[in-house]
Structure 1
Amino acid sequence: MNTKPAPGHGPPTPALYHCRIHHTRTTPLHHTFTHRTYLWLVDLDDLPRLPLPMRPLARFRARDHLGDPARRLRENLDHYLAAHGIDLTGGRILMLTHAHSLGHVFNPITLYWCRTHDGTPACTVAEVCNTYGERHCYLLRPDSDGRANQTKEFHVSPFFTIEGHYRMTLPEPGPDLTLTIHLEHATGRPLTATVRGTRHRATTTALLHAAVLHPLSTLAVTAHIRLQGIRLYLRGLPVQPRTPHRDDGSRPP
């Protein structure tokens, strides 16, 4: 694997970010947890090409993300953006995600930073998945600091209704990764999630180190989410009725 400089704009890719993910719930009970993992930052036009023995550790498959599994990831993003009136005319798209690793992947959120052909930031796409196997994409228009507001449209946690809106800060990653998502209700801010990470070159040695440091990383994400759900349920937090998901074009027709 060779890390390549950005073609005019943005960070070099591919890159690995060793991350600390922190969730704080404030109401109706207080609950916090922290999880450590690693994420990939990749260019959709230049996905990593791993040596054959390393490929089980990281695959980037269209079927694990939005759109038609028969198309390439880049094609699916372009198709989604075109449905919302956006044409990047070949501009760069960066994706921050967990890779499919050792037969498993689960991404609570995958982020795409999209630029036009001249490098101008066009939009950010937040692709959110829940443990019910559903997926939804939010098309965001962040300001120069990566800040955006978005009405909640998708049921994620079984302990929250679909009411509220998100206040997000999602700047394009650099040497450091700093992401914040607040869920806000009329009565306050019941949930805050943060991701903090440090960039490393995505060499074979770095990937092996990350895989050893965070074994079965994507399976651990799923297990961690379910464990926290069990803890909340045992503490008496009621499960909320789930709103059926409306297709937003992120699934194939």
Structure 2
Amino acid sequence: MNSTGQAPATLYECVVAHVRTAPLRHAFRHRTYLWCVDLDQLPVLPLLVRPFARFDPRDHFNGRAVSIRAGLDEFLAAQGIDLGGGRVVMLAHARVLGLVFNPLTAYWCHDASGALVCVVAEVHNTYGQRHCYLLHTDETGEATVEKAFYVSPFFPVDGHYRMRMPLPGARLALSVHLHTDEGRPFTATLRGRRRPATTGALLAAAVRRPWSTAAVWAGIRRHGIHLFLRGLPVHPRPRYSPQKDVSP
């Protein structure tokens, strides 16, 4: 496996933090690791570690494309965007022992000249649904987008997100703020440090967190139960009309 700057793949040892301020205050942090890969140069892993990192197109977009890159290109085409074969960097969990859950997958999409065209934020909820937000970020990596997808049962589908999504470098620093008429009731941050994507680094990460993506899913459920038991009201999940290009 290769390490990157412009290279095909790196690992990020990360801390994810969620802070809810209303109507109840609740916060949690957990550690995980993520891959940052070039979609046209996905890592070819030694046989020994392949069960700990697999990138499957079924886990992204409509799940029917021949590759993740093809799924992304189909989504962008539906938005009138053609990258002309430009480079795409993806930040995501890989499948680990056959399991994966990506609350957020980010794609930094460049044109053939290398200029950043847009960022795609692909959000998954714990009900098996997906939704993609197309972001035209400013020079700091920030963009605002209307909330259009049910994620937490304790928030209705209203308000807007302020996302900060700069391209990862030696450090990873992403944030998502939910804004509503009542203020800013929720913030999620992702902080990480880049590590070379060597076989040893992957095995070490897998040993420390062998069920990394399953733990993310279970943690979200556990904290949801905690909030429910504290009396936080549940907003019914609306009937979801999937985006044409990301339907199940």
What is the match of residue 100 of structure 2?
A: 105
Give the C-alpha shift of residue 60 in structure 1.
0.2
Counterpart-to-counterpart distance in 1, 2:4 and 2:103: 28
Q: Residue 201 of structure 2: SS of its match in structure 1? A: helix
> Number of matched residues?
248
Counterpart-to-counterpart distance in 1, 2:194 and 2:59: 24
Q: Residue 250 of structure 1: SS of its match in structure 2? A: helix
Give the C-alpha shift of residue 68 in structure 1.
4.0
Counterpart-to-counterpart distance in 2, 1:96 and 1:47: 12
> Which residue of the other structure, out of 168, 173, 179, is the alignment partner of 1:173?
168
Q: How does 1:119-198 map to 2 (within 5 A)?
A: 119-198=114-193
Give the C-alpha shift of residue 252 in structure 1.
5.4
> Which residue of the other structure, out of 214, 222, 244, is the alignment partner of 1:227?
222
- Is residue 90 of structure 1 aligned with residue 80 of structure 2? no
Counterpart-to-counterpart distance in 1, 2:35 and 2:245: 21
Runs (4 or more) in structure 1 with deviation over 3 Å come to none
TM-score of the aligned structures, taking structure 1 as reference length: 0.95
TM-score of the aligned structures, taking structure 2 as reference length: 0.97
Q: Residue 27 of structure 2: SS of its match in structure 1? A: strand
Give the C-alpha shift of residue 205 in structure 1.
0.4
What is the match of residue 239 of structure 1?
A: 234
Q: Percent identity?
A: 56
Q: Residue 36 of structure 2: SS of its match in structure 1? A: strand
CA 1:121 to 1:238, structure 2 compared with 1: closer, same or farther past 3 Å?
same
What is the match of residue 26 of structure 2?
A: 31
CA 1:252 to 1:133, structure 2 compared with 1: closer, same or farther past 3 Å?
closer
Counterpart-to-counterpart distance in 1, 2:31 and 2:209: 8
Q: Residue 15 of structure 1: SS of its match in structure 2? A: strand
- Is residue 2 of structure 1 aligned with residue 6 of structure 2? no
Q: Residue 139 of structure 1: SS of its match in structure 2? A: strand
CA 1:187 to 1:4, structure 2 compared with 1: closer, same or farther past 3 Å?
closer
Give the C-alpha shift of residue 66 in structure 1.
0.6
Give the C-alpha shift of residue 250 in structure 1.
3.4
Counterpart-to-counterpart distance in 2, 1:235 and 1:13: 45
User: Could you tell me whether the CA contact under 8 Å between 2:94 and 2:100 is conserved in 1?
Assistant: yes
Q: Which runs of 5+ in 1 are unaligned?
A: 7-11
